[in-house]
Amino acid sequence: MYSRKRYWKFFKHSLKLFSEIEGVQSGSVDLTIKCRMNCEGCYFKKAGYDKELGDADWRKKILVLKANHPNIINMVWIGGDPLLRKDLLRSLMNYFDFNLVVTTGLIELPKWKDCNFGISIDGTHDYHNQRRGFYDRIKRTIDQDDIWVTIAFTLTEKNHVCLKDFVEEWSNTSVRGVGFSFLTPIIGEKSSDLIVKPETREKIIDRILDLKKKNRKYRKFILNSDSMLSLMRPENTSWVAENCPVKDKVVSLDPMGQPKHPCMMDNANCSQCGCIISHQMLAKGLENTQKMLRYLA
């Protein structure tokens, strides 16, 4: 049974996550349109951005953002590759307590101790290279024990077959873990052979849960909680779309500093959402509520 102290900790966290009073708590910034990769299915490339703010304008924009949303403590720096504007990035990170820099792995990672780095790797060598390329180079860049790096694996109809081999390979590196998401389509986008079919999505989730259950090392390496994976099942997509906290709790800015809706993807088809962020926020709230109910029982 949980102590009252722990109960109130969980309860207050749930309130902070979902209360309208708290407002926006996290943000994402497309710091640049520049990227050295040309990934198949990239939502940012599809948006067709061709301009970005200069350094001075970005500093002004971040100051306004902080003034309008003083509760923001978490910031995700994305794009494009934000490390292509390394000096500006470093200066803007100082405005936030927690920073995640989403980069390609093609640029040497700075030895910054006050941030995490996120790298997209979509499968083992051959599967990743079909969509993004540079697998060996990326692995050399991020397999370092003095930098905190996590992997974002976007599951598609093409790459899910290598899931187990991927987890086995990367759980034996210095990388801290992997978060699985499903490729989310854009509104109006024609059918894509990358989008995972509902029946396949169900089986993939079962496989991930099985890996976590049977192997302690995998369970530690896979960042998706069981609750997150449960919410990712096709039967829950409508509920997730209707209750997604990202729309109210996260503000996203495009390369010109303009708001993006409904999230950092801009024009995402929420009815087929596979985003790890929305599922993580909802799962955490549900887990905390369940703990509270168990305490009160």
Give the model's pLDDT for residue 294. Answer: 55
Give the model's pLDDT for residue 283. Answer: 85
- pLDDT over threshold 60, residue 289: no
| Listed range (2-11, 17-26, 129-138, 279-288) with the worst mean pLDDT | 2-11
**pTM, whole model, 2 decimals?**
0.87
Q: For the domain bounded by 4-296, which CATH number is listed? A: 3.20.20.70
- pLDDT over threshold 90, residue 14: no
Give the model's pLDDT for residue 87. Answer: 98
- pLDDT over threshold 90, residue 113: no
| β-pair partners for 30 | 78
- pLDDT over threshold 90, residue 51: yes
| β-pair partners for 151 | 119, 178
What mean pLDDT do residues 216-245 have? 93
In sequence order, which residues have a C-beta less than 8 Å from that of residue 177 and are 6 or more positions away? Answer: 150, 151, 220, 221, 222, 223
**Token code pair at residue 13:** 């966290």
Give the model's pLDDT for residue 7. Answer: 35
Give the model's pLDDT for residue 41. Answer: 81
- Using DSSP, state whether 57 is helix, strand or coil: helix
- pLDDT over threshold 70, residue 32: yes
Q: pLDDT band at residue 291, thresholds of 50, 70 and 90?
A: low
What mean pLDDT do residues 279-294 have? 68
CA 222/CA 212 separation, integer angstroms: 7
Give the model's pLDDT for residue 3. Answer: 40
Give the model's pLDDT for residue 287. Answer: 62
Q: CA–CA distance from 32 to each of 45, 256, 266, 268, 277 (Å)?
A: 12, 9, 16, 20, 21
What mean pLDDT do residues 207-216 have? 97
- Using DSSP, state whether 47 is helix, strand or coil: helix
The residue among 19 and 260 whose pLDDT is bigger is: 260
Proportion of the chain above pLDDT 90, given as a percent: 68
Q: What angle do CA 26, 31, 37 make, to 5 degrees?
A: 115
What mean pLDDT do residues 105-115 have? 94
- pLDDT over threshold 80, residue 199: yes
- Using DSSP, state whether 89 is helix, strand or coil: helix
Give the model's pLDDT for residue 22. Answer: 60
